[in-house]
Amino acid sequence: MIQRTFLVAALAFFAFSCDTLSNLVTSIYAEPTEAEIGSGLKEALEIGIGKGSDALSQIDGYFKSPYKILLPEEARKITNKLKNVPGFSDLENVILEKINRGAEDAAKQAKPIFVDAIRAMTFSDALSILTGGSQDAATQFLQRGTNEQLYTAFNPTINTSLDKFDARKIWSDAVKVYNKIPLVDKANPDLGDYVTREALKGLFAMVAKEEQNIRTNVSARTSELLRKVFAKQDKK
């Protein structure tokens, strides 16, 4: 009698386990809805910006990485011209380090700004983004739709961070001296605009890198939603 009861219970548990497993497999591999695709893409972008801002906000996150912010060509004309002016002989190296330190500091504040922009996105064309040919289609979509909004939100943060390292003052002083040189084209002393746009390029590049990782590496899909949504991409 006891053995029969145990056998019945074991069979019931086995059936329940199989049913649960079947439901789980069905849940993961069922066709995702458009809403799930949109949510999955947003989740992938949020993971990307989280990892990107964390990496870039470290010391040398910009300065000694592929995303290092370089001086524009017109700025190098200024640094070259001022090499023999007392107090400005090492201007290029000084300003390069300071603008990258400013970008690293600002990257700490980038995550909530980006996340707000990501969550405000509408993915009416989510399916084409998911199954299109590009490995960074969602990042490109984010960049096209929110770049100026992100610039407006991020620029004050960049300027504050640059001011922590006196980068804008050093640059402004150098430009004022440069603009007094006869026959030179007058330069713009505003450094914040350039650094903001370059810092955003680095952040978008990091988001794109993580999106590509999630698209191509199944183990990077760390939630059921990501696994379900990107399984559809794998089937295309």
For 103-162, write each residue's pLDDT tens digit.
999 998 888 888 988 888 888 888 888 887 789 999 998 888 888 888 988 899 999 998
Mutual angle of helices 91-107 and 167-179, in 10-degree steps:
140
Q: What is the mean pLDDT of the chain?
A: 82
What is the Cα 61 distance to its own chain's centre? 13
Please list the alpha-helical segments (H only) found in the chain: 2-29, 34-56, 73-81, 91-107, 110-119, 126-131, 137-164, 167-179, 192-216, 224-235
Answer for the pair 44, 138: CB distance below 8 angstroms, yes or no. yes
Mean predicted confidence (pLDDT) in 60-75: 89
Res 9 pLDDT > 60: no
Answer for the pair 105, 164: CB distance below 8 angstroms, yes or no. yes
Provide the Cα torsion 147, 152, 154, 156; round to 10°.
160
Mean predicted confidence (pLDDT) in 71-91: 76
pLDDT for the residue 178: 80
- What are the tens digits of pLDDT across the range 34-56? 899 999 999 999 999 999 999 99
Tell me the domain boundaries of the chain.
1-30, 33-235
Place of tokens 């794109």: 208
Bigger pLDDT: 69 or 24?
A: 69
Answer for the pair 213, 17: CB distance below 8 angstroms, yes or no. no
Provide the Cα torsion 58, 60, 65, 71; round to 10°.
120
- At a CB cut-off of 8 Å and minimum separation 6, what does 117 contact? 142, 146, 149, 150, 153
DSSP assignments along 116-170, one per residue: HHHHT---TTHHHHHHSS-TTHHHHHHHHHHHHHHHHHHHHHHHHHHHHTTHHHH
Interatomic CA distance for residues 97 and 72, integer angstroms: 14
- 62, amino acid identity: Y
Answer for the pair 120, 153: CB distance below 8 angstroms, yes or no. no
